[in-house]
Every structure is written in structure tokens, then in C-alpha cells.
């Protein structure tokens, strides 16, 4: 499905929503709409759904969901907290009714990953940024054919995630937590390449995503080419193992990328 089709889809979604939250964006970078609301109207701390600080945050959705496309991402700040709303469409571009089964998990203190149901097979969003704790989001096509969104955090946060029906949405609420994130384990971001996580044992396992169909990984004169699960308009995941004790370059074929110390 070509991304251009979703200009119409987003217009339909806007007309279907009655919420006061911003309407979804149709652009790839940035792909969020932004608003700031008085703290007295903070839905991101209302209700009894608990906030989590690590591990699995939520299992959400239902087995018979009809969502097939990530249609847009909206952000709103409420002073004491903030909210991301991920709008989901059916494969024909109309608003979805049910999300389907997904999960949200901290893959590190820096990254919250929202994993979408297998039925989600396309996206109208590739990347987005916000003015809040959720600094950047990457929509990633995984090697199994599915999609996830990695939300990169700029500070420690308590998080809760849940789904809403008719129209289908995934809601991410963030509440600031005291302290600072460890800069040594922060994701490495470069032009077209992100290394999200890595281990320090030998051999070192790295995982990330890129905007190209392959990345070049290595050190000195020893380099190898790694396939990327590329998809038009989004990032694609990759994994690799590298030696311990040497700096390793991870780059796109044109040489732009990052160095893992």
C-alpha cells in the first residue's frame, strides 16, 4: 500500500474522532501533532491503570482486531504528564474498530517498544518527534514482517499503555520520574542508522534499525554486510554480532552511521 493513500484516510479519521486531542499527522518527519493542556484536565494520570518503570508494561488488544495500518501519532502535554495516541486504520484506509493483540515493553531504560499485532502490515508514519519526554519515535518493520514503534525517552519515566476501541487507538501515558538516564547506554543515532541495544559480552550482540536495505558492520579492514528488514516509508530492523574490545562502525552503504565504542 502506498503512503499517499493515507492522506484521505487521515481526513476520514479526523472526522470520526470526537476527542479534544490533536488530529493525526500525515507527514513522516515530524509525524505528530502537538498541544499543551492545563494540568487540571490531565487524562494521562486519570483512572486506575498502573504505571510501570521496567520490563513488560502492558499486553493490550483483542484477538479479533481489524487494525492493519499505523495511521498517525498524536502528542499532548498536560504539565504533570504527557500522552501519545497512535491511531490505527484498516487496510482499506478507514478507521479501525479493534486494535488486535499487542504488547509494550521497556527494551532499556531509554526505549519503550510498542509491538503491534501481526495484522498490522503497513504504516503511514516513519518517524516522529515531540516536545516532551518521548523525544523521538521510530516506526520499525521487523524481520518477521510485523511493526513496532520504539519511543526514545529523554528522561526517566513511568509509563502505562492501553488500547481504545472505535476508533482503534493505542495510548501511551508518561509520567516523569526523578533521576537521570545513564548516557553510556543511550541509543546511538546517526544518519539513517540507530543502534538501539547492545551487550558487552563477547561476542557483542547489537540490535538496531536503518532506512536502507543493508548496513555495513565492522572494524579496521574487516567489514560485513547485514540485511535490513526494510519497508518503504519506515525503518527496518537488523541484528549483528561483533567482537568485544574494539570499536565497531555500523553504517549505511554510503558510509553514514555510528560507532559503538
The domains of the chain are located at 3-10+19-36+51-176, 187-260
The tens digit of pLDDT for each residue in 142-152 reads 999 999 999 99
pLDDT value at position 246? 85
pTM of the model: 0.84
CATH topology match: 3-10+19-36+51-176 vs 187-260: yes
Q: Give the model's pLDDT for residue 2.
A: 38
pLDDT at 255: 85
The Cα 53–Cα 154 span in angstroms is 14
Q: Write down the architecture of domain 3-10+19-36+51-176 according to CATH.
A: Sandwich (2.60)
Q: Which residues pair with 76 in a beta bridge?
A: 35, 83
Architecture of domain 187-260: Sandwich (2.60)
Q: What is the pLDDT of residue 31?
A: 47
pLDDT at 222: 86
Looking at the DSSP assignment, which residues form a beta bridge with residue 217?
A: 224, 250
**Residue among 98, 149, 140 at smallest CA distance from 119:** 98
pLDDT of residue 220: 81
Task: Going from the first residue of the chain to its last (261 residues), give the mean pLDDT of each consecutive group of 10, the final group possibly shorter.
Answer: 36 37 39 53 90 97 94 94 97 97 98 97 97 96 97 97 97 96 95 95 93 94 94 97 88 92 88
Amino acid at each position: 500500500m502506498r503512503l499517499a493513500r493515507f492522506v484521505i484516510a487521515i481526513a476520514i479519521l479526523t472526522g470520526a474522532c470526537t476527542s479534544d486531542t490533536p488530529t493525526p499527522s500525515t507527514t513522516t518527519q515530524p509525524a505528530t501533532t502537538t498541544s499543551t493542556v492545563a494540568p487540571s484536565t490531565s487524562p494521562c494520570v486519570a483512572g486506575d491503570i498502573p504505571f510501570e518503570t521496567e520490563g513488560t508494561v502492558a499486553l493490550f488488544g483483542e484477538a479479533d482486531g481489524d487494525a492493519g495500518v499505523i495511521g498517525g501519532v498524536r502528542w499532548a502535554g498536560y504539565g504533570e504528564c504527557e500522552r501519545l495516541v497512535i491511531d490505527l486504520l484498516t487496510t482499506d484506509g478507514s478507521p479501525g474498530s479493534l486494535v488486535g493483540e499487542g504488547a509494550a515493553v521497556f527494551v532499556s531504560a531509554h526505549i519503550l517498544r510498542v509491538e503491534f499485532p501481526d495484522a498490522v502490515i503497513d504504516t503511514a508514519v516513519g518517524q516522529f518527534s515531540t516536545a516532551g519526554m518521548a523525544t523521538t519515535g521510530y516506526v520499525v518493520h521487523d524481520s518477521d514482517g510485523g511493526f513496532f514503534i520504539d519511543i526514545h525517552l529523554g528522561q526517566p519515566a513511568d509509563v502505562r499503555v492501553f488500547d481504545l476501541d472505535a476508533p482503534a487507538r493505542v495510548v501511551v501515558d508518561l509520567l516523569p520520574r526523578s533521576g537521570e538516564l545513564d548516557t553510556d547506554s543511550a541509543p546511538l543515532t546517526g544518519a539513517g542508522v540507530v543502534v538501539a541495544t547492545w551487550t558487552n559480552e563477547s561476542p557483542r550482540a547489537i540490535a538496531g534499525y536503518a532506512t536502507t536495505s543493508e548496513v555495513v558492520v565492522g572494524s579496521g579492514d574487516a567489514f560485513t554486510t547485514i540485511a535490513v528488514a526494510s519497508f518503504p516509508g519506515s525503518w527496518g530492523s537488523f541484528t549483528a554480532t561483533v567482537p568485544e574490545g574494539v570499536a565497531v562502525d555500523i553504517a549505511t552503504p554510503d558510509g553514514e552511521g555510528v560507532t559503538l565504542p
